[in-house]
Every structure is written in structure tokens, then in C-alpha cells.
Amino acid sequence: MRYVALTLVAAASCALASSMAQAQTKPSAATVGSKISGAGSTVGGTAGSAAAGGTSASTLGLGATSTGKAGTSSAIAGAGSAAAANGRATSATKIRENPQMLRSQSRAMAMDSGTFSRSMSNTSARHDGDVWSWTRSMAHQPGSKPVMSTTRVR
């Protein structure tokens, strides 16, 4: 049940950060993260959003591990979304597996002339039971300083 709750919290936080960022006229960026461990299980993740002008970008990453009699199970998820009123927007998520871990990398970027918003999330669920994640979001409008936010969960 904790896994579902954390997934919903991460998704809601990402959506809330995105809607708050779009409502402002200045560039804005926000990131959040959380990790819970107990009874042989660990779940954690981060999410972030950025907006400037008519652009916005959001990403999230979530990982979980559980250790039991049969061994360790791992799960990973990542997502990204970007939008631009008059420019271009791209998003991509890659999920990789190797003998030590599952890894998710998500990127989203929206650009309109010199104004841009971008967000990236990297998450790892190691087969030894460890979960870590980080998200960085950044927004920029010409004539103002870039705004950045970073959250790391280890």
C-alpha cells in the first residue's frame, strides 16, 4: 500500500509543481523527493517541473526494491512531459537493466525562441536493496537569470 501512496504523492507533486509554475509570469522551477524504507522494502523517487513564458517541462522517477525468501525484487518507472505554445517540445525516457540494478533516465525540454524549460530525472533501484533518485529542473527567459531546483534522494 505504501508503494501506491508514494506513486500518487510523486505524481500529484509533479502536477502541482507544473500548474504552479505555469501560473507565474516569472521563470520558475520546483523539485520534490521522498524515500521510505522498512521491513526489507525500500521505495523512493523524485519529480520536478519548470516553466518560463509559454513553455513547461516535467519529469519524475520512482524505484522500489523488496527482499524476501525468494531473493530481491526491483521495479523502476520514469516519465517526462513537455509543452510549448509556439516552439518545440521533446521528452524521452530510457530504462536499462544490468546485473546490479534497474535504471531510469527521463528528460523533457520545451523551447520557444530564447525561452526554455527543462527537467531531468535519474533513478536507480539496485538489486542489493538500495534506491536513489535525483531530479533537476531549470527555466530561463532572455533578460533574466536562469532558475534551477535540484532534489536528491539516497
pLDDT tens for each residue of 56-86 = 999 999 999 999 888 889 999 999 999 999 9
Report residue 62 CA to chain centroid gap: 8
pLDDT tens for each residue of 16-53 = 444 444 444 699 999 999 999 999 999 999 999 999 99
For residue 151, what pLDDT is reported?
98
pLDDT range class, residue 8, cuts 50, 70, 90: very low
- pTM for this one? 0.84
For residue 72, what pLDDT is reported?
87
From the list 66, 63, 85, 65, the residue with the least C-alpha distance to 76 is 63
| Backbone torsions φ then ψ of 33, nearest 5 degrees | -160, 160
